[in-house]
Amino acid sequence: MLFTNRMWMVPESKGMTRTTAVEADRLKLVSEGCDPNIDVTRKSKDIFGEVSRTHHAIQTLDKTISNLEMELAAARAAQESILSGSPLSEDMNTGSSGKRKYFMVIGVNTAFSSRKRRDSVRATWMPQGEKRKKLEEEKGIIVRFVIGHGATVGGILDRAIEAEDKMHGDILRLDHVEGYLELSAKTKTYFAAAVALWDAEFYIKVDDDVHVNIATLGETLARYRRKPRVYIGCMKSGPVLAQKHVLHKYANEDVSLGSWFIGLDVQHIDDRRLCCGTPPGLLRGLKRSISDAVKVRMLCGLLPFENRLAIPPNSGR
């Protein structure tokens, strides 16, 4: 055994107290959190990375929703086509390879307030009833008014269009909220729905204040049947602000459509017969007869309502 009388105390530092290991760890965590010299760059990068991932997820979700809206528009259009007795009802149950090949699909852009214009088109160049079905079956030409829905789905505007469609069966409904500033989006939705519904050689968009000579239009398009990708129309020039996005929507839907085709392998064909212009010969002289004035409007593709201008049935215009 060993005995000693030499005992001493461990001196404590001034201002310091002894702590346990657990307390030391806690103090270390607190001190790290309060250290003003800690590097915040890594945390900032983590935050920006999280924001970037969230933004990417939102874009992906938005794209998915857009695709679903197009599919829903096509499905609703198919249902409308079936309910209206269109011969495409059987084609919708088959694959794209089993679809009939149509010559052209004409979509007449219209609005809720344009009932008189639609009636004028029906009374002039758009066949009705059995004549329209015969045009589809024998000539492969589809003609439909194109319209979306009101801000209030199922409201009075939608019910009025549904009643009109039950009467005539010539309206293609889109999953799109109507609005003058939304014409570009409506145009894109129309073409997506038309391609999903009908396998055609040409897809055409016109306004409801344009009166089409279907026979002349057919002769014009027949010249380009052997060309794989063509964009035909009256090509107007003018400054347009360019954007990087391929499907950027401009206020004017025709400008939007033209810009979408710029980056694609499409042949642009400027056909001045599709322009709304006054022939130079009609401007010569100080006097023009009423018949000449009517010709100008007809050549421009514009006609008053049928209750204002009586059109001979065999006028050929």
User: Per DSSP, what are the bridge partners of residue 105?
Assistant: 142, 203
Q: What is the pLDDT of residue 135?
A: 96
**Residues 44-54: tens digit of each pLDDT:** 667 777 777 88
Banded pLDDT at 280 (limits 50, 70, 90): very low
More confident residue, 9 or 301: 9
Q: What is the pLDDT of residue 196?
A: 94
Phi, psi angles (nearest 5°) of residue 25: -65, -40
Banded pLDDT at 183 (limits 50, 70, 90): confident
Q: At what angle do helices 115-124 and 156-168 cross, to 10 degrees?
A: 10
**Residues 91-107: tens digit of each pLDDT:** 333 344 567 899 999 99
pLDDT greater than 70 at residue 150: yes
Q: What is the pLDDT of residue 274?
A: 64
More confident residue, 287 or 129: 129
Q: What is the pLDDT of residue 311?
A: 41
pLDDT greater than 50 at residue 279: no
Banded pLDDT at 130 (limits 50, 70, 90): very high
pLDDT greater than 60 at residue 57: yes
Task: Give pTM, 2 decimals.
Answer: 0.53
What the block records as the tokens of 266 is 């499409």
CA dihedral 229, 106, 189, 198 (to 10 degrees): -70
Q: What is the mean pLDDT of residues 60-74?
A: 66
More confident residue, 106 or 21: 106
Q: What is the pLDDT of residue 154?
A: 86
**β-strand 230-233 against 199-207: which pairing, if any?**
unpaired
Q: What is the mean pLDDT of residues 297-309?
A: 41
Report which of 63, 77, 85, 103 is spatially closest to residue 224, judged by C-alpha positions. 103
Which range (23-27, 156-160, 202-206, 292-296) has the least confidence? 292-296
pLDDT greater than 90 at residue 144: yes
Q: What is the mean pLDDT of residues 128-133?
A: 94
Q: What is the pLDDT of residue 229?
A: 82
pLDDT greater than 80 at residue 187: yes
CA dihedral 34, 35, 37, 39 (to 10 degrees): -70
pLDDT greater than 70 at residue 251: no
Which range (115-124, 131-140, 295-304) has the least confidence? 295-304
- Give the distance, in angstroms, between the CA of residue 43 and the centroid of all CA atoms in the same chain: 42
pLDDT greater than 90 at residue 68: no
CA distance 60 to 149: 26
Which range (9-13, 102-106, 193-197, 310-314) has the least confidence? 310-314
More confident residue, 18 or 287: 18
